[in-house]
Structure 1
Amino acid sequence: TNKGPQHDEAWLIFIDMVNNQIPTFEEKAEALHYFPMFRTWFGLLGLCKLPWNDIAPANNSETEEPAKIPEHVQNYLDLYYGITGTRMTPEDMVEQSERTYNFQRIFNIRMGKGLRVNDKTPYRTMGPVTPEEYESRAERYDKQLKETVGYDPTGKTVEEKIAAMRAYREDQYEKLTDAVYKRRGWTENGVPTPEKLKAIGMDLPELLEVVEKHI
C-alpha cells in the first residue's frame, strides 16, 4: 500500500494504551475504521497531519468526539471546497477513503496476500518472548497477569507465565480482528464483501471477480 504505519494503526496505540480512550472492542474497531480512513484521505490529497492534531483548539475537549478534533477536520474539508468548489461532509470524506482502502485490500488479495492470515502480527509483538525479557519487567508483567488476565502468577515458572500472557494477548488480538473486520464490512477472513463494495460504489466486475473467489 502507499502509506506507512504512522498514518494508520500505530498512532492509535497512544490513545488506547496511554489514554485508555477506546476500552471496548467496538470502540477500538470504530477507531481502526475512522482514523485510517481519515489519514488515507489527507494522504491522497498530499496534505499533512500536522495541522490536524499537533495543536488542538482550546475548546476541543468540549466537543462530542475530541479525539477526532472536529474543527481541524472541517478545516481540511473547507480547503477541499476552496480548491475544487465541491462541498463535502466528514462522512463523504470517509467514503472516498473507503474506496481506496478497499481497492488496496483487494489488490493485495489479488497478489496472494491481504487475508486474515496476513494480518497476523509477528511473534515478537505478542511478547514477552524470552524468560530474560519477562524477568526484566517481572513486577509489571505479574501485575498484568493478576489484574488484566485474571491469572495468579504465584509459584508459577517464568515459562508458564509467558505462556499465560501470550495466550491472553493472542486471544484478544483475534477478538479485535473480528470486530475490525465486521466494522469495515469484510468477511471473517478479511475480504471486502460484494455488499460493501456496492455500498461505496466500488462493485466493479474486476474487483468482484477477486473477492468472490474467497467468499
Structure 2
Amino acid sequence: MALDKLPVKKLIEFRRLSKTRKVTFANKLKVGKKSTSDGGGGGNYWVRSVSAISSAFKENDNSYITDKIEEVTNFYDLNQRAQTKTMYKRNIDILDKYKDFDFTLWRPSADLKFLPKPHSILEMNGLPVQILPNHIFSYGTKNNQSVGAIWFVIWQDGFKPSDLGIYSETLFRYLSSYLSKNYMINPASCIIVDILSMKSISYNEVLNGGVSSLLDDTMKSVKEYL
C-alpha cells in the first residue's frame, strides 16, 4: 500500500461501489496513479460558490454572496461554451439560496476567533486522510476556550446523512489531534454543511446516535483493497 493522501470524499465514494469497482478505485488511489481532488471541499468546479459561502460565514456578511452572484453572472453572460455556462449556472443557483441566509445558525458564538489550519493530512488507522475544513475557530472565555470548525462540502450525486457523519468524525479527530492540548474540542461545533441541500450536521449527532458512525469500518474496508 502506498498513498500520499486520501480525501474524505473518496471514502464516501468507495462505500457506493461494487467489489469489482472497488479494486479499480483503490488502484487509482495509489501513488503514481491519477487521483481527482476532493470535490467535497469544492474543487475548481464549485470554487465560486464555496468561497463566497465561506467568506460570508466568516464575516457574517451576505454581501459576499450577492457580490459573487453578480461576478459569476457576468462570466455566464460573456461565455459561449455550453459546458462552462452550465458550471456558472450551477454555482449561481447555489448562491441564490444563500442571499438571505442567516449564517449565525452555524456560528456557535457571536465572537469567533479564526485560527490557522494545521497540516491537512492526518494518519488514521494507517491511512493518510486529507481533512480540509474551511475555517477553524475558537470561542469562549479566556480560561475556557472551545474550538470548532466548519467544512462546506458538495457533491452533485448528493450526500446522505451518514456521509456527512464521516466528514464530521474526521473533522473531530483532526481537531483533537492538533488542538486538544490548548482547547476543548466541542463536538457540536464540528460542523459539516452540504451546500447543495443546505443540510448541516455536527459530530455531536454521530455521538448521540442520530447519524451512523461509519468511518472506522470504511477505512478498514479501503485497507483491504490496497
TM-score (norm 1): 0.29
| Structure having the larger proportion of residues in helix | 1
